[in-house]
Amino acid sequence: MLDERMGANRERKRSPTASFDALYDAEFGSVFRYATARLGRSDGEDVTAEVFHAAALAYADGRESAVTPAWLMAVSRNKVIDQWRRAERHKAKRHLAWAREEDAVEFPERWAHSGTREAVLDALDGMKMRHRTLLILHHVDGMSVPEIATATDESTRSVESALARARASFRRNYDGDEC
């Protein structure tokens, strides 16, 4: 009789664990696909882990009835947005590290004419911050692609690709005669 009661108590204690395991098995794929489609594999894996960690905490707090597939997707969405915000803050900090005052930047001689300088600055202002930063680092500060890759903690190929897109963006935004 005592063994039966102890077994029943153990079964009640395992029930939330078994319930969580079943939820994890059923919903892991959906959460993982959602996160990786928006963030890439590495960050998607991190977000998926954070989502199921939040679910485990909810189970541990006795709120297992609140943890539904819809709840998991809402938490996933919020964590993806948080990751995007962190990435933007990181980009902004990285840009601030390289930001220069307008007068501190030495422009090439052919840009010395104020009209050309203004056209260049206008073109740079019309670009994404990342593209503007890469062009300034490469063409004004004279940093090589590998140096930029090291400074921004990116791969050389990633920087080369982004620089190509930055040059194309600059050409689209530039209204001057020559450059």
* CATH code, domain with 137: 1.10.10.10
Same domain, 19 and 57: yes
For the chain, what is the domain count?
Answer: 2
Do residues 27 and 48 touch, judged by C-beta distance below 8 A?
no
Q: What is the mean pLDDT of residues 10-17?
A: 58
Q: Is 134 buried (19+), middle (13-18) or exposed (0-12) by CB count in 10 A?
A: buried
pLDDT tens figures, 140-161: 778 889 988 887 778 899 999 9
Same domain, 160 and 122: yes
Q: Which residue in 130, 143, 172, 76 sits closest to 68, CA to CA? A: 76
Q: Is residue 56 part of a domain?
A: yes
Residue 140: DSSP 8-state = I
* Lookup: tokens for 149: 């890759």
Q: Is the pLDDT of residue 121 over 80?
A: no
Q: Which residue in 171, 91, 169 sits closest to 130, CA to CA? A: 91
Same domain, 126 and 166: yes
For residue 158, give its domain range.
Answer: 102-173
Of the pLDDT bands very low, low, confident and very high (cuts 50, 70, 90), residue 101 is: very low
Of the pLDDT bands very low, low, confident and very high (cuts 50, 70, 90), residue 179 is: very low
Same domain, 22 and 76: yes
Which of 44, 64, 89 marks a domain boundary?
89
Tell me, what's the pLDDT at 100?
Answer: 45
* Residues 152, 158, 159: CA angle, nearest 5 degrees: 55
Tell me, what's the pLDDT at 31?
Answer: 95
Q: Is 10 buried (19+), middle (13-18) or exposed (0-12) by CB count in 10 A?
A: exposed
Same domain, 30 and 81: yes
DSSP-derived secondary structure for 22-41: HHHHHHHHHHHHHHHHHH-H
Same domain, 26 and 85: yes
Same domain, 52 and 109: no
